Structure formats: structure tokens, C-alpha cells
């Protein structure tokens, strides 16, 4: 069986989703891990936007006579859909549902001219599926949205009239057939109307439980339909596997059509109070009914997942939606934003729209919760140090009066963007995970101090109160996942440990060291070994553009190449000579760095080492934004607290600053002479200047020249 990967998506400007890809045809190589169940109660789904309006739309729902499908139909009608087509197994029941829907008080009030038409289709009969797939596109001229909701859950092996296993035929094969037949109609409707069409599949997060990761692979010489139809290959996880196949098909289909016309996605409505388990044995059916009754969503809320999936834009193509979670990140090395704080975290107020008592929306301006956190009482900060005990909100780069200065935080971040951008790129050149970790930690601390100044982000005990902390740390998780994907065979090397309250006697940290206090579902502690692969984020239903769920079932090498290309696209320096570089893919680029090492125990609180070309400004408050400041190294601490003895350090990139001060082709001895006479450094500890000569162990600065191979498209930056 092929080794496979899993993952997908988050940025400050996008949704959190998980997508799946199935290798087309032939051999299946499906790899996934059991889902982690952190709680039974289903989280609340987002509300349908008040701006949602389906007036003029034609919509098809397959499986709409009960439960989620029925409520989805009701929602579309209440939101103005002009023509609603219902694909049903029993036409008589379909007509009854039609009357119920059109008699709905809200539908009669808001959409009295709606048209509902019934089409017969039984997914357990290929003849019925073939008839519908031919008849519907011939008779219907416009279709803007199709929701494929029909499915079954069976424990025992049951055959259809076609001789196939029922769960496989209904949940996967028939849905795939119908979807394929609808694509031309959805595409032509999009072209005619000028608005996106949507094709949405109702799948399940149960796809993450069991399945091919613990079962046989379909042999390459086997016919897939025959294999799934054989009772010898039937298992208790057939529902899970068929939902996995359906999501994988949706993802593959999404990659093959024009997303500017048709958006294809899938979703999990969650645990819902429906009769899905009616065909299960009593020892499963009744416990599930009890579970659904107290932990499940109502059919109306579950149906919102379907409606929301068809409101996505082009960026929803190929995605799997579950629970509506959003985990934004802020990429402070993105060349498009160049380390500026996102507007979403700097504006003072935001406008929110809430439903009023009469059903009409009410618009209100509120303090922006991403700009600052307001402490709930003076008691909650009474034990804080110094000014932190009196400040009522989190502050960034505060002035003497306790006012936040986002503009100064932006200026500080932007002043070191070039260095940060290069350091991010070079971090991926390390073949040792330990070296990468140190490099990433240096970037992490430097961003903290640049935002905070003497405010909350600069100090460990208070930094997480600032909302931007979470966007920053989501990005740290993203960069870690990117490195794991790009260097799948690289692991943490044993290193001396520091005693903690949970592990007083540890002398060495290894891949098997328990990661207190984080426990797995079985109660044991997580270890680095458990999370050494990028794929370990997927059971948690999230990923990133550079480690995408679209590549879930590709090989490690394919994912490595994709992530590598993205690293280079985002962070690689522009070549000095594109024409030459396009011919010589092994061109050598020189990187100059200053390596600083210092014993942290000689300093207090958070300290920062600033590097300059020439004389620094006289007042230390001007150092972070000075034009002569070329880079910095920060180490986070607690205010007024002396750190434990440890020699720490980092590499500060000098290359861009040298290119501005000299010519790119300056001789090496000329560069060294320039550095000897012009490179200076200063230290701030707890925002107070420190005389380096007073440090007993001193601060050592080494100049390093790295030779790096340039091939932006296909390989990581590799140190020689």
C-alpha cells in the first residue's frame, strides 16, 4: 500500500476546511488515522448570513423527504429559491413533502410563488439512476445548485437489485454517477447567468474513523466495483469508507472542472437527530437514538451545513466543511503584506449585524475584539507586574500614558521585514529539526517583541491576552507543518532537558518524552513521535494551503514537492539575474549572517539585541525603527525576572543590508572590512539599554558566509 498524507487550509482571510483526494482509477492507497473525540456535544454552526438570497435560483436536492434534506429544502424556499427540484425514491411521499413545504408559514409569506417539482430516483437501482441522469438534464434548462444528500447506514451485508453491496452503491457509486451527469447543466447555467453554480455532497467526518488505513488495499488488477461488492471484503466500517470515497470523488471532480463556473465541495452536517440508524441492529440503533437526542444537532441546524456549503465562493472548491470552525493565521513573512499587522486586528471598532426583536437586522458598532482584550476586573490583573497591573486592556507598543500604538508596532515590524523574510526562507534549509526549531523560535520571539514594545506581547505571562497572539501562533503551527511535510524524514534529536514541575528528573528530551500536560484520548501523554508527521493535523480537521488536504492521498514525495514549491514561491529571494538563473538551476547565492550568542542569565525579562550599520540613534526608543537598524534577535522572558543560565543565540541575516550598502559583486575581503568598521550592536533588557562590556560572559558575534543553491521551483534552499 502506498504511504499517503492528509491535510488543509487556514489564513487570516480564509476558511478552515479539510479536503480529500483519491488517486483516480486503479489502485487505492488510502491512509488516515482514527479521529480524536474531544467531546460529544456538537458545536454550534454559523448562522446563514442575512444577505443570503436564492431568488431566481433553480436548486436540486437528492434525498429530501425527511431529516436534513427536508430542512435543507425548507431553508432554500424560505430564502427565496424560485424552482426547487426534489429527487426522491417514493414519488407519493415526495408529493406529500411538497405540500408540507409550500404550506410552511414563512414560505407562504416570503416566497408564495415558489415552484417545487418531484423527480423519481432510487440510488439502490442503477436503472433508476440512469433514467434520472438522462431525463433530468434533458427536461431542466437551468440548475444553479445541486445538493446530493441521499445515503444509507447498514451494518450487515445487503445487496441491491444490481448485485452490489448497498452502502457502496447508494453512498458512493450512484451519487458519483448523478453528479457527473449534472456537471454540464451546472456549467451552462453558470455561463448563462454569470453566477457560480454549486455541487455539494453530504459526507461525514466518520470518514476519519477506520477504513483503508487498517484494511486491505484494492489490488491493482481488481475491478473496484467487484471488490466492494464482494461479501469477503465487507466490514463494519463500510459506511465510513463509502463516505471517504464520496469525499475523495468530490475532491477529484473539483480538480477537473472550472471553479470559476462550478464550485464542488462536500460537508459533514455533524451528529443530527435523524433516523439514519433505523436499519442498524437494536444494540446500535437505540444507543445512537439516545446519543442523538442529547448530543445531536436538530435537523434544521444540520441542514445549515448544506446551505452554507453552497454559499461559498471560488475558494470553497474542493473543500470539506465540518462544524464551521475558523482558525486564522497571520503570515508575517508574506511578501504581499510585508509584516504589516492585518487591518482586522488594528481598527478600533467593528460593525456587527444582529437579529432584532421584530426579525429585522440591527446594526451595532462594538470595540474590535481583535484589537485588544479588556480585562474583566481590576482583580484579574492585581498580581501583574508594574504597569500591567493597572492597564485595563492589552497594549501594543504603549506610550507613557498607556495608549496603544499600532502604528509603531507596524513600523517596527516593517523595518525588519526583509530580515524576517530571509530568515523564514533559510529556516527551511536546515536538515536538523533541532536547528529549524531554534531558528523558528528566534523568529517567534522577534515578532512578539516587535509588536509588544513594553506591552503585553513582549512578556511571556501576558502575551496570550493579546488577540494577535493567536494569529501569530497559528502561523507558527503552519510553518511547523510545512517543515514536517518538506522534511518528512527529519526528527528531533535527543538534547539536554530542563526540569519542569511535571518531569523533575528528566535529563534528556527524546522523541518519546511525554509532552505534559497533553493527553491522548486513551489517557496517555502525547510524544514528539506521535506528531512527527504533517499528517497528524488531519484528524483535527484542519490544514494549510502549503500542506493541503487536496493532496491527502498523494505520496510523501508529492507532498514534499508541493510544499517545497510553496516555500520557494512565498519566501525565496528574487534572483539577481532571472535569465541566467533559468538556464543555470544550480546557481550559487551567497548569504551573509551574523551569529550572536549570549548567556541569558546575565539579563532580565525579555531582551533584544539590535544590529546596525553605523552608529545607532542616541535614544534606545528609536532603535527598532531606525533606518540604520538591519536586524534583531529577541528572547522572551518575564518582566524583572532573571533567566536560568543558558547560552542562546540566533543568526541575523545581513545579505540584503549589504547589497544596499555595497554592490552585489563586492569582493569578500571588502565586505569583511566593511562589517568590521560598520557593524555595531546594542542590547535592551526589560526595555533598558545594557552595556555589553558589563556582561561577564560577554556577547559573541561571528560572521558567517553561507553558499546556497538556487532552484526556486523544485528544491528547498540547501546549505552547502
Which strand (E) or helix (H) includes residue 366?
A: strand 361-367
What is the spatial distance between Cα 59 and Cα 140, in angstroms, rounded to a whole number? 11
Contact 593, 716 (CB under 8 A): no
The candidate with the shortest Cα–Cα distance to 612, out of 600, 627, 596, 633, is 627
DSSP β-bridge partners for residue 113: none
What is the spatial distance between Cα 686 and Cα 634, in angstroms, rounded to a whole number? 11
In the structure grid, which three cell numbers stand for residue 582, read together?
Answer: 533559468
In the structure grid, which three cell numbers stand for residue 218, read together?
Answer: 484494492
What is the spatial distance between Cα 373 and Cα 240, in angstroms, rounded to a whole number? 42
* DSSP string of 573-605, one letter each residue: PPPS-HHHHHH-TTEEEEEEEEEEEEEGGGSBS
In 10 A of CB 174, how many CB atoms? 29
Contact 249, 176 (CB under 8 A): yes
Tell me how many degrees the CA angle 659-611-456 measures, rounded to the nearest 5: 125
What is the spatial distance between Cα 285 and Cα 279, in angstroms, rounded to a whole number? 8
In 10 A of CB 156, how many CB atoms? 12
Could you give the strand order of the β-sheet that contains 115-120, starting from the edge strand earlier in sequence?
Answer: 115-120, 83-88, 58-62, 145-148, 197-202, 262-268, 320-322
Instruction: Give the dihedral sign, CA 407/408/414/417.
Output: negative
Which strand (E) or helix (H) includes residue 634?
A: strand 629-635
303: phi then psi, degrees, rounded to nearest 5:
-65, -25
Query: How large is the angle between the packed helices 417-427 and 406-415, nearest 10 degrees?
Result: 60
The candidate with the shortest Cα–Cα distance to 60, out of 219, 212, 184, 179, is 179
Instruction: Give the dihedral sign, CA 366/368/369/373.
Output: negative
Which residue out of 239, 417, 483, 544 is catalytically annotated?
Answer: 239
Three-class SS state of 58: strand
What is the spatial distance between Cα 552 and Cα 255, in angstroms, rounded to a whole number? 13
Contact 593, 653 (CB under 8 A): yes
The candidate with the shortest Cα–Cα distance to 426, out of 717, 54, 178, is 717
Is position 239 annotated as part of the catalytic site?
yes
Residues 6+ away with beta carbon under 8 Å from 586? 709, 710, 711
Exposure of 19 in the CB half-sphere (CA atoms within 13 A): 28
Q: How far apart are the first and last CA of the chain?
A: 35
Which strand (E) or helix (H) includes residue 473?
A: helix 468-486
Supply the residues annotated as catalytic. Answer: 239
Amino acid at each position: 500500500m502506498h504511504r499517503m498524507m492528509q491535510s488543509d487550509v487556514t489564513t487570516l482571510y480564509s476558511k478552515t476546511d479539510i479536503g480529500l483526494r483519491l488517486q483516480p482509477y486503479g489502485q487505492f492507497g488510502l491512509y488516515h488515522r482514527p479521529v480524536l473525540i474531544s467531546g460529544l456535544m456538537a458545536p454550534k454552526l454559523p448562522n446563514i448570513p442575512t444577505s443570503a438570497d436564492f431568488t431566481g435560483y433553480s436548486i436540486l436536492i437528492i434525498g429530501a423527504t425527511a431529516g436534513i434534506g427536508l430542512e435543507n429544502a425548507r431553508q432554500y424556499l424560505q430564502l427565496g429559491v424560485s424552482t426547487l427540484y426534489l429527487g426522491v425514491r417514493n414519488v407519493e411521499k415526495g408529493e406529500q413533502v411538497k405540500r408540507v413545504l409550500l404550506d410552511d408559514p414563512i414560505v407562504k409569506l416570503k416566497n408564495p410563488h415558489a415552484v417545487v417539482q418531484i423527480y423519481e430516483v432510487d440510488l439502490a437501482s442503477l436503472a433508476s439512476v440512469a433514467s434520472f441522469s438522462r431525463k433530468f438534464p434533458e427536461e431542466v434548462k437551468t440548475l444553479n445548485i445541486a445538493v446530493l444528500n441521499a445515503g444509507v447506514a447498514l451494518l450487515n451485508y445487503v445487496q441491491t437489485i444490481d448485485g452490489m453491496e448497498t452502502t457502496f452503491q447508494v453512498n458512493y457509486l450512484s451519487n458519483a454517477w448523478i453528479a457527473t451527469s449534472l456537471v454540464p447543466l451546472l456549467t451552462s447555467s453558470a455561463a448563462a447567468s454569470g453566477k457560480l453554480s454549486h455541487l455539494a455532497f453530504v459526507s461525514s467526518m466518520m470518514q476519519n474513523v477506520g477504513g483503508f488505513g487498517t484494511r486491505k488495499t484494492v489490488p491493482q488488477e481488481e475491478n473496484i466495483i467487484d471488490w466492494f461488492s464482494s461479501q469477503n471484503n465487507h466490514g463494519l466500517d463500510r459506511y465510513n469508507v463509502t463516505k471517504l470515497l464520496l469525499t475523495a470523488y468530490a475532491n477529484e471532480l473539483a480538480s477537473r472542472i472550472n471553479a470559476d463556473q462550478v464550485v464542488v465541495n462536500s460537508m459533514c452536517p455533524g451528529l443530527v437527530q435523524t433516523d439514519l440508524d433505523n436499519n442498524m441492529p437494536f444494540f446500535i440503533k437505540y444507543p445512537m437514538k439516545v446519543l442523538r437526542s442529547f448530543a445531536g444537532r436538530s435537523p434544521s441546524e444540520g441542514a445549515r451545513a448544506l446551505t452554507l456549503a453552497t454559499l461559498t465562493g471560488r475558494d470553497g472548491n474542493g473543500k470539506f466543511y465540518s462544524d464551521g470552525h475558523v482558525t486564522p493565521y497571520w503570515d508575517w513573512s508574506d511578501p504581499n503584506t510585508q509584516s504589516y499587522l492585518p487591518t482586522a486586528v488594528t481598527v478600533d471598532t467593528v460593525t456587527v449585524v444582529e437579529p432584532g426583536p421584530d426579525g429585522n437586522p440591527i446594526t451595532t458598532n462594538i470595540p474590535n475584539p481583535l484589537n485588544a482584550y479588556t480585562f474583566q476586573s481590576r482583580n484579574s490583573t492585581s498580581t501583574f507586574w508594574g504597569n500591567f497591573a493597572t492597564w485595563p486592556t492589552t497594549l501594543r507598543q504603549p506610550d507613557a500614558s498607556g495608549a496603544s500604538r499600532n502604528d509603531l508596532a507596524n513600523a517596527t515590524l516593517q523595518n525588519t521585514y526583509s530580515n524576517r523574510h530571509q530568515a523564514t526562507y533559510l529556516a527551511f534549509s536546515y536538515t536538523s529539526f533541532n536547528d529549524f526549531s531554534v531558528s523558528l523560535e528566534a523568529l517567534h520571539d522577534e515578532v512578539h517583541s516587535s509588536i509588544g514594545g513594553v506591552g503585553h506581547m513582549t512578556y511571556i505571562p501576558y502575551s496570550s491576552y493579546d488577540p494577535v497572539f493567536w494569529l501569530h501562533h497559528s502561523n507558527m503551527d503552519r510553518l511547523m507543518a510545512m517543515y514536517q511535510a518538506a522534511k518528512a524524514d527529519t526528527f528531533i534529536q535527543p538534547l539536554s532537558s530542563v526540569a519542569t514541575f511535571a518531569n523533575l528528573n528528566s535529563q534528556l528530551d527524546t522523541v518519546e518524552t511525554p509532552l505534559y500536560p497533553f493527553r491522548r484520548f486513551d489517557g496517555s501523554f502525547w510524544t514528539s513521535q506521535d506528531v512527527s508527521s504533517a499528517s497528524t493535523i488531519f484528524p483535527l480537521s484542519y490544514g494549510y494551503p502549503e500542506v493541503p488536504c487536496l493532496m491527502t492521498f498523494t505520496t510523501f514525495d508529492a507532498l514534499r514537492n508541493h510544499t517545497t514549491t510553496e516555500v520557494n514561491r512565498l519566501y525565496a529571494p528574487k534572483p539577481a539575474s532571472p535569465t541566467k538563473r533559468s538556464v543555470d538551476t544550480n546557481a550559487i547565492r551567497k548569504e551573509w549572517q551574523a551569529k550572536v550568542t549570549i548567556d541569558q542569565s546575565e539579563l532580565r525579562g525579555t531582551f533584544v539585541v539590535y544590529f546596525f550599520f553605523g552608529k545607532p540613534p542616541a535614544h534606545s526608543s528609536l532603535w527598532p525603527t531606525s533606518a540604520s537598524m538591519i536586524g534583531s534577535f529577541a528572547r522572551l522572558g518575564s518582566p524583572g525576572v532573571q533567566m536560568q543560565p543558558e547560552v542562546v543565540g540566533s543568526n541575523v541575516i545581513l545579505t540584503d543590508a549589504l547589497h544596499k550598502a555595497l554592490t552585489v559583486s563586492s569582493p569578500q575581503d571588502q565586505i569583511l572590512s566593511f562589517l568590521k568598521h560598520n557593524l555595531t550592536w546594542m542590547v535592551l533588557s526589560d526595555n533598558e539599554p545594557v552595556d555589553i562590556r558589563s556582561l561577564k560572559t560577554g556577547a559573541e558575534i561571528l560572521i558567517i558566509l553561507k553558499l546556497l543553491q538556487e532552484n526556486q521551483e523544485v528544491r528547498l534552499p540547501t546549505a552547502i
